[in-house]
Amino acid sequence: MTRSLDPSERLVWNRVARTVSPRRRPHGKGAARPTLAPGPTRDDFSAMMRLPLLKPQRSTPPSGPVPSATDRGVRRGKVEIDSRLDLHGMTQVQAYKVLSTSIFRAAKRGERCLLVITGKGPRLEGVLRTQLPAWLSGAELRPMIATYAPAHARHGGAGAWYVFLRS
């Protein structure tokens, strides 16, 4: 059984579908020339300017520290992950939209732990990696977040976060 796409997923799918063309032979008259994916639009830049670019709080999660039993599980890499979210290759605007949509859906499904993969970035301080705590502490997502913690090495280490949702 397949589910239908919601409007935000349909928008992303249509954008991707426009960049794809049928594969043809590399030689001969019918050879297709490679096309570049369209770059960011003016709307993407204006939306990025409206995103909250807050400095992440050092290790103060939205509602207190990680409970000790959960903390032990996190440190040992024995956290039961309900769903994964990979933000690699996304702009800040795209990543924030996908993150908020995924957290709302996970909360609706009653999930407890999300693994959010941000990547480390080209340097040690990746943009998405540093912005994630600020986004989770923002007014829109804070009511659904119990706490968050850096992921264990087996789940991505410094390039991933566990996000624990309120029940």
Residue spans of the domains in the chain: they are 76-167
Global confidence as pTM: 0.57
How many whole angstroms separate alpha carbon 146 and alpha carbon 148?
Answer: 7
pLDDT at 105: 92
Helix %, strand %, coil % of the chain (to 5): 40, 15, 45
**What is the mean predicted confidence (pLDDT) over 46-67?**
52
pLDDT at 75: 61
- Locate 40 and state its tokens: 């960011």
Between 129 and 51, the higher pLDDT residue: 129
Tens digits of residue pLDDT in 128-159: 888 888 899 888 888 999 888 888 787 778 88
Of 19-28, 41-50, 110-119, 122-131, which range is least confident? 41-50
- The contacts of residue 8 (CB under 8 Å, 6+ apart) are 97, 101
pLDDT at 125: 59
CB 82 within 8 A of CB 115: no
Helix (H) or strand (E) holding 116: strand 113-117
pLDDT at 148: 87
Tens digits of residue pLDDT in 100-125: 999 999 999 998 889 999 887 665 45
Is the Cα torsion angle 60, 117, 124, 92 positive or negative in sign? negative
pLDDT at 60: 43
- Computed over every residue of the chain, the mean pLDDT equals 75
- Locate 131 and state its tokens: 């912005």
Between 94 and 36, the higher pLDDT residue: 94
Between 102 and 1, the higher pLDDT residue: 102
For domain 76-167, give the fold. Answer: Ribosomal Protein S8; Chain: A, domain 1 (3.30.1370)
